[in-house]
């Protein structure tokens, strides 16, 4: 029951999770890699092509056609879940860390660093940033970009980050994500917003996708490799 017959009351976001609250149901959405919502007004044709998994027919004022909302997802890494109500959704979201757009340095430091009681194994800062229960909303691209801006190597064990570094990192995380949102996101291949517009933040990536090219700060070649099981790019000279 994906909101059938519901009037949409609220749309929520926490990290990369979306929530749509209707008066007779709630859904949670994750776009995954290639998931996208597309809106088509009344009479507008749907982008033909496959991989459309859900179509909502919207009803406008006085019963007029309100167009359609489509969820398509070629690689099917995304998903939509139905919940009884918004409390059930919020319950699922409790596993997530604070939202990355607004997390403060103190909070980030607390969650990043291992507390000697719980975590015996110290992980690297990139793995910690990608962990949605540490901080919600940082993906592979933005982890690399934030680490570059804060001058921290992705491989640094979290327990040796100084307060100053945590401070720079939390600033960089918020800054990178804010700029990316303002640029409409990073369109590497598929991503478009609901109106079909591509983002442009990929033009401002300083390290992601630039392995082997020169660092915009020092001119040395950027290094790439696998960190935390993900493609990672950093500057061996600027990031310590």
Binding-site member from 21, 69, 127, 146 for DNA (CB under 7 A)? 127
User: What residues between 58 and 87 interact with DNA by CB under 7 A?
Assistant: 74-77
How many residues contact DNA, by CB under 7 A? 31
The C-alpha atoms of residue 30 and residue 96 are separated, in whole angstroms, by: 13
Stretch of residues binding DNA (CB under 7 A), selected from 56-64, 124-132, 171-179, 192-200: 124-132
Q: What secondary structure letter does DSSP report for 141?
A: H
Nearest to 132 by CA among 168, 80, 92, 166: 92
> How crowded is residue 231: how many other Cβ atoms within 10 Å of its Cβ?
14
Q: Between the CA of residue 79 and those of 91, 185, 190, 221, 236, what are the distances in Å? A: 17, 20, 17, 38, 37
For 133, the 3-state DSSP assignment is: coil
Pick one of 121, 203, 212, 219: the residue that binds DNA (CB under 7 A).
Answer: 121
Candidate list 46, 59, 122, 194; residue touching DNA; CB under 7 A: 122
Q: How far is the CB of 140 from DNA (least distance, A)?
A: 4
Give the CA count within 13 Å in the CB-facing half-sphere of 98: 15
Instruction: Report CA 102 to chain centroid distance, whole Å.
Output: 13
| Least distance from DNA to the Cβ atom of residue 7, Å | 28
Quick one: 67 or 224, whose CB is closer to DNA?
A: 224
- Distance CA(154)–CA(141), nearest Å, equals 12
Contact 228, 127 (CB under 8 A): yes
Instruction: For residue 116, give both structure tokens.
Output: 């000697």
- Of 53, 111, 123, 156, which lies in the binding site for DNA, with binding defined by CB under 7 A? 123
Among 47, 101, 192, 231, binds DNA (CB under 7 A): 231
CB of 62 to DNA, least distance (A): 39
Q: Is 33 in the site for DNA (CB under 7 A)?
A: yes
Q: Count Cβ atoms below 10 Å from residue 101 Cβ, excluding itself.
A: 17
Provide the 8-state DSSP code for 7. P
Judged by CB under 7 A, the chain residues 11 through 30 that form the site for DNA are 15-17, 30
Nearest approach in angstroms of CB 10 to DNA is: 21
Among positions 141, 169, 173, 235, the unique one binding DNA when judged by CB under 7 A: 141
Least Å distance between CB 63 and DNA? 37
Instruction: Give contact residues for DNA (rule: CB under 7 A).
Output: 15-17, 30, 32-33, 50-51, 74-77, 114, 119, 121-124, 127-128, 130, 132, 139-141, 189, 208, 228-231
């Amino acid at each position: 029951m994906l909101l059938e017959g519901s009037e949409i009351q609220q749309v929520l976001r926490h990290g990369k999770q979306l929530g749509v609250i209707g008066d007779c149901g709630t859904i949670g959405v994750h776009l995954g890699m290639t998931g996208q919502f597309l809106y088509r007004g009344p009479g507008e044709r749907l982008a033909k092509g496959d991989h459309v998994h859900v179509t909502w027919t919207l009803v406008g004022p006085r019963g007029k056609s309100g167009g359609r909302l489509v969820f398509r997802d070629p690689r099917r890494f995304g998903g939509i879940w139905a919940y009884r109500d918004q409390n059930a959704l919020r319950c699922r979201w409790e596993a997530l860390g604070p939202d990355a757009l607004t997390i403060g340095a103190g909070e980030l430091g607390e969650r990043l660093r291992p507390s000697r009681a719980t975590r015996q194994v110290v992980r690297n800062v990139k793995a910690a940033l990608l962990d949605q229960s540490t901080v919600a909303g940082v993906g592979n691209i933005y982890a690399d970009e934030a680490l570059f801006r804060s001058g921290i190597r992705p491989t640094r064990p979290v327990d040796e980050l100084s307060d100053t570094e945590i401070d720079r990192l939390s600033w960089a995380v918020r800054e990178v994500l804010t700029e990316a949102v303002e640029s409409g996101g990073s369109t590497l291949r598929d991503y478009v917003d609901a109106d079909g517009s591509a983002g442009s933040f990929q033009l401002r990536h300083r390290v992601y996708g630039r392995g082997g090219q020169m660092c915009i700060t020092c001119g040395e070649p950027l290094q790439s490799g696998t960190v935390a099981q993900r493609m990672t790019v950093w500057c061996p000279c600027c990031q310590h």
